[in-house]
Amino acid sequence: MGSRCAWVSPQRRSAGRVLRSTALLGLLVVFSGCATPEQTRVVTSRKFDFQKDTFAYSNDLIWEYYFDEKGDWVHRRRQPRPDYTHHCFVVARTARQFFLNARFEPSQPIADEHTYRRLIREVATSNPRKALPEEQKIIIPGYADLRSFSQAQEKLLKAECGGIWQSYFQRGHWRMIFPFSRHHQEQMAQQLLEHLESDPPLVVHIVRFPSLWINHSIVVFGAEQTKDEILFSVYDPYNPREPTILTYDRATRTFFFPENDYWFGGRLDAYETYYKWDY
């Protein structure tokens, strides 16, 4: 099985469990605030820098995934057990919130724990769909960027950015229970390109529903186009060391994600979250 930021069991889901998951996600539709008006996109002048605008720590895996001698994709419990898991949606969302709504001021003195705890909470509860005006941005003193801040204040950030439940109940999850047509994915690829021009970085949900081989959140911050493909640059909360690539194939109108520590690689479906009322 693949990455499950919002799913606990590593086993294959029975039909009954999939139906229960579907019912739960259906309830989320009801409570997802569908009457909220669409937010205005804000043009950002600063480019997302992977070495500065990402967290220094990772959202870890409970399970270790690998191909066995028979070529089957299997798993075993990771030892020692990591202390920060099932937070990929939280990490992705908060990276966007820091980019949109915070400003780092390294010239100011380093603050105390109480101050940083308050500031982190302000960022984590700020609007991830609309940037604050420059004069209203949350000032983070003593550090040059999110990478250095998260190196020094890892414990506080893990504690205050949001709990596991925020990955389980991200309101955009309802979308994954409905089929993804090739036309929809073609439109989504174009939407990502357009939004990268006006409002980066983008939080994207990648999924294979109902199989749940993968159910994960990533941050898309750039793109390169060729005749046959669009290569989206990605910050994966599991891998703060280097960017990866989400590939869109124009001929098949399909997204592909490479093999890594939690995913055996291949096609999947993708949609953007935190960009309007329904996602």
Q: What are the counts of helices (DSSP H) followed by strands (DSSP E) for the chain?
A: 7, 10
Whether 129 is covered by a domain: the verdict is yes
Distance CA 254, CA 189 (A): 9
Structural domain range at position 102: 52-168
Contacts of 146 (CB under 8 A, 6+ apart): 52, 53, 54, 55, 95, 98, 99, 102, 104
pLDDT at 227 over 70: yes
Q: State pTM to two decimals.
A: 0.79
Q: Tell me if 146 sits within 8 A of 54, measured CB to CB.
A: yes
The overall average pLDDT reported for the chain is 80
Ramachandran area for residue 264 (φ above 0: left; ψ -120 to 50: alpha; else beta): alpha
Question: Residue 225 is inside which H or E element, if any?
Answer: strand 215-225
Contacts of 225 (CB under 8 A, 6+ apart): 193, 231
The amino acid at 103: R
Tokens of 172: 């955009």
Whether 88 is covered by a domain: the verdict is yes
**Which tens digits make up the pLDDT trace of 125-184?**
999 998 999 999 999 999 999 999 999 999 999 999 986 545 555 555 656 667 889 999
Distance CA 18, CA 34 (A): 24
Question: How far is residue 84 CA from its own chain's centroid?
Answer: 15
pLDDT of residue 60: 65
Closest-CA residue to 252 (of 273, 234, 270, 229): 229
Whether 253 is covered by a domain: the verdict is no
Q: Virtual CA dihedral for 127, 53, 194, 234, nearest 10 degrees?
A: -120
Whether 234 is covered by a domain: the verdict is no
pLDDT at 19 over 60: no
3-state secondary structure of 122: helix
CA distances from 186 to 211, 275, 278 (A): 22, 18, 19
Query: Who wins on pLDDT, 23 or 79?
Result: 79
Q: Quickly list H helices, the chain.
A: 15-30, 88-101, 113-124, 146-152, 154-160, 165-168, 182-198
The pLDDT-based confidence of 24 (bands split at 50, 70, 90) is very low
Whether 114 is covered by a domain: the verdict is yes
pLDDT at 40 over 80: no
Q: Tell me if 269 sits within 8 A of 207, measured CB to CB.
A: yes
Number of domains in the chain: 1
3-state secondary structure of 112: coil
**Which tens digits make up the pLDDT trace of 73-124?**
555 555 567 677 788 999 999 999 999 999 999 999 999 999 999 999 999 9
The amino acid at 216: H
Whether 4 is covered by a domain: the verdict is no
Which residues are 138's β-sheet partners?
Answer: 102
Burial of 243 (C-beta count, 10 Å sphere; 0-12/13-18/19+) = middle
